[in-house]
């Protein structure tokens, strides 16, 4: 019997790169491969505690480097602390060019319980402890996980400017914010990235995405795969399933390919704790959509969003300041 040829590993770099912008405050350039890895799922149920299979989670982290992924997004609240610790245990000393982004400002009080805090002493501690857990002297990209309502947003933004000036963080980003909040934050530090929920069937942040694209800000969509929303309903296949069968890919891969084409500012970070699932996600970087296919996928997703948006909106945090 002849040797069975193994399928070549997918290459994330085929998605292209996004360069974080520089200004007088930030002169060092970082090029992010546009298909990254979200490290929330390498934790336990409810994003709490250690994953049921720690070795598989570590194998997934190692697999990112085999696939050309150079951008890993995590947060101190994942576990809490578990995701950052596993990243250090598995990948340190870090390969040259690896960019690790983390977040702070979300406290944890149990599985699936998230409470934002904007106290600046607490946020500074978040940064210092992430530095220790990740075993780095500077965080490449530190993102405010939520703008807390306990202190004025400007105090939180000023702290991020201070952290940048002190060299503790290189770039700063925000998560789940409006255009108006991005503009307020930009008075205090260079907003390099915004991380809002956005995917094929959730378009709530269209205005934020457009603002980011127009102003040189990377847009990192969380929940990029819209899990459970792509197959169709009432026994009827969606146009996505039909197209996936024709192109011999999966609906999830098509939804990621759509994101990559939707805007050059988009940096999807699909997450998993399974190396094979990671490979599958990464194959999206190699999918080429025709203009007609892109329009078909886009129209399908937009129609789904209009049908369900009353239940899928992530309501922004209201600030009295």
For the record, the structure tokens of 79 come out as 């576990």
pLDDT in tens, 72-118: 999 999 999 999 999 999 999 999 999 999 999 999 999 999 999 99
Stated as kind and residue range, the H or E segment containing 142 is strand 139-144
pLDDT along the chain (321 residues), means of 10: 70 97 81 98 98 98 98 98 98 97 96 97 98 98 97 98 96 98 97 97 96 98 79 70 95 97 98 97 97 96 83 49 50
For the record, the structure tokens of 92 come out as 């340190």
Q: How far is CA 126 from the centre of its chain?
A: 19
CA separation (Å) from 293 to 105, 108, 255, 301? 40, 42, 11, 12
Residues in the chain: 321
Q: Are 78 and 60 within 8 A, CB to CB?
A: no
> What pLDDT sits at residue 203?
95
Q: Say how far apart CA 224 and CA 6 lie, in whole Å.
A: 29
Q: Are 9 and 63 within 8 A, CB to CB?
A: no
> What pLDDT sits at residue 274?
98
CA dihedral defined by 308, 311, 316, 319, rounded to 10 degrees? 140
Phi (first) and psi of residue 199, to 5 degrees: -160, -175
| pTM score, whole prediction | 0.93
Catalytic center residues: 78
Q: Say how far apart CA 276 and CA 11 lie, in whole Å.
A: 14
């Amino acid at each position: 019997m002849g040797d069975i040829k193994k399928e070549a590993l997918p290459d994330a770099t085929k998605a292209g790169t996004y360069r974080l912008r520089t200004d007088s405050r930030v002169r060092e350039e970082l090029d992010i491969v546009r298909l990254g890895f979200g490290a929330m799922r390498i934790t336990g149920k409810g994003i709490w505690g250690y994953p049921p299979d720690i070795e598989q989670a570590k194998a997934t982290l190692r697999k990112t480097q085999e696939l050309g992924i150079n951008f890993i997004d995590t947060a101190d609240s994942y576990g809490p602390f578990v995701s950052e610790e596993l990243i250090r245990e598995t990948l340190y000393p870090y390969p040259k060019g690896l960019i690790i982004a983390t977040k702070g400002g979300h406290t944890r009080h149990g599985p699936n319980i998230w409470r934002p805090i904007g106290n600046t002493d607490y946020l500074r501690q978040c940064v210092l402890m992430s530095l220790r857990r990740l075993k780095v002297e500077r965080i490449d990209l530190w993102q405010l996980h939520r703008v807390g309502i306990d202190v004025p947003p400007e105090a939180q933004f000023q702290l991020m400017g201070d952290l940048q000036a002190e060299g503790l963080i290189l770039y700063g980003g925000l998560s789940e914010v409006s255009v108006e909040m991005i503009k307020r934050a930009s008075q205090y530090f260079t907003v390099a990235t915004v991380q809002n929920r956005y995917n094929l069937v959730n378009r709530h942040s269209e205005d934020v995405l457009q603002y980011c694209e127009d102003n040189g800000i990377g847009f990192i969509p969380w929940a990029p795969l819209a899990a459970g929303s792509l197959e169709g309903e009432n026994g009827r296949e969606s146009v996505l399933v039909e197209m996936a069968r024709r192109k011999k890919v999966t609906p999830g891969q098509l939804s990621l390919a759509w994101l990559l084409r939707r805007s050059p500012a988009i940096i999807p970070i699909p997450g998993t704790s399974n190396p094979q699932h990671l490979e599958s996600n990464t194959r999206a970087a190699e999918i080429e959509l025709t203009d007609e296919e892109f329009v078909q996928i886009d129209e399908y997703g937009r129609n789904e969003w209009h049908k369900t948006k009353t239940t899928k909106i992530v309501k922004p945090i209201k600030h009295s300041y």
